[in-house]
Structure 1
Amino acid sequence: MRWIFLALAVWGTIHPMAYFLQWFGENGYDLMGMVGAWHANAASSGLVWDLTIAAIALTVWIAAEVVKRRMWLGLIAIPATFCIGVSCGLPLYLYLRARPGGQGGI
């Protein structure tokens, strides 16, 4: 399972990043413009909030598990979640949790 999680983390980095880089190429490195594009209509705003809430829930879970299990390496999934996306952060954390010595039960 852990290699599947790693593959999903890589895919979850590359696939969305390709779209972000395309957008930056067409519009310049305007983060506020990108946020505005995310809220272009009600459907995309709903998706943004869905992912934001999922990212916060994942962060709370990671933080709680890191404190409980003392698996400090898992903390790298938090910036991965907010800088890349839930599509990277969640499988990355599951990969780290499932690794030998990760004290995971997966």
Structure 2
Amino acid sequence: MAVAGAVLPWLANLEFIQLSNSAFDLGLFLRLANANPAAQSLSRDLFIGATAITIWMVAEARRLQVKGIAICLLCCVTLAFACGAPLFLFLRERRLQELDHTNAASG
């Protein structure tokens, strides 16, 4: 999911860059992301959901001592939230399995 979350949004970003004369115009991008009620709904939904999940990711990474949270956050900002969040879920699951294995070995 993390790979798809990186590739699919960036395919759209590359198309946007081509349509805006080979530059990523952030102002234009944001205007288009809010160009109509449907776009506003998706943009606001992503913003609120991504903010909540990012807060949870940081708290959960601290609680479980998940390694790689910085990479996940960097992916969220530079590639796409759709990449960083699934990557974090993978790292979190791997950490939970480590903890289960450690607990089983000591118990």
State the TM bucket, normalised to the shorter chain.
0.7 to 0.9
Q: Matches of 1:82 and 1:51 in 2, distance apart?
A: 13
2:52 matched residue in structure 1: 57
Deviations 1:30-85 (A, max 9, x none): 11111111111011011001001111111111111122112231232223223333
Residue type at the aligned position of 2:8:
H
Q: Matches of 2:54 and 2:86 in 1, distance apart?
A: 13
Q: Determine if contact 1:9/1:87 at 8 Å carries over to the other structure.
A: yes
CA RMSD of aligned residues (A): 1.7
SS of corresponding position for 2:24: coil
Q: Does 1:25 align with 2:25?
A: no
Q: Does 1:34 align with 2:29?
A: yes
TM-score (normalizing by structure 2): 0.80
**Unaligned segments of structure 2, at least 5 residues:** 100-107
Q: Kindly state the Cα deviation for residue 92 of structure 1 after the two structures are TM-superposed.
A: 0.8
Q: Matches of 1:84 and 1:58 in 2, distance apart?
A: 16
Sequence identity, in percent? 30
Q: Does 1:85 align with 2:80?
A: yes
TM-score (normalizing by structure 1): 0.80
**Unaligned segments of structure 1, at least 5 residues:** 1-7
Bigger radius of gyration: 2
